[in-house]
Amino acid sequence: MQTLELKQILDAKQVLGMKMSELSSAKTRREDIAIEKTSEEMDAIQQSADRILALDSMTRRWETQTLVSEALQRIENNTYGICSDCEEAISPKRLAALPWAKFCIACQDARDTATAEMRWTDAA
């Protein structure tokens, strides 16, 4: 059921390796998340918004880094391109666009929907 060509796996490996070093070299600026004292209330609001953004991008980077390293692991284990949920092949087109994709489109959609619903429940 191997639908990926060796060339695509090698390309993916290269892209993943580059992404990995890009992510690990990006430093989080300390001042972005440091809590600063301020007398102005507007400043405080702005700063906390900035802090949320900084934390958000840090979380996203960490998540991507995890996905990238897992994808590299799957290449080593010869399971690259296989959905981690239903174990069907992930389409080569999807992998070309997102080399660290862990799930096929159907499983990813199901997860995104579940996550969105969870967020709504949290907000309520």
What's the min distance (Å) between Cβ of 104 and Zn ion?
3
- Quickly count: other Cβ atoms within 10 Å of residue 58's Cβ: 14
Span near Zn ion by CB under 5 A; candidates 3-11, 28-36, 48-56, 82-90: 82-90
Question: Which of positions 40-59 make contact with Zn ion (CB under 5 A)?
Answer: none
Tell me the window of 31-39, 52-60, 85-93, 110-118 that interacts with Zn ion (CB under 5 A).
85-93
Q: What are phi and psi of 83, to 5 degrees?
A: -60, 130
94 touches Zn ion by CB under 5 A: no
Please state, in angstroms and as integers, the Cα–Cα distance from residue 53 to each residue in 21, 22, 25, 32, 46, following that order. Answer: 23, 20, 19, 9, 11
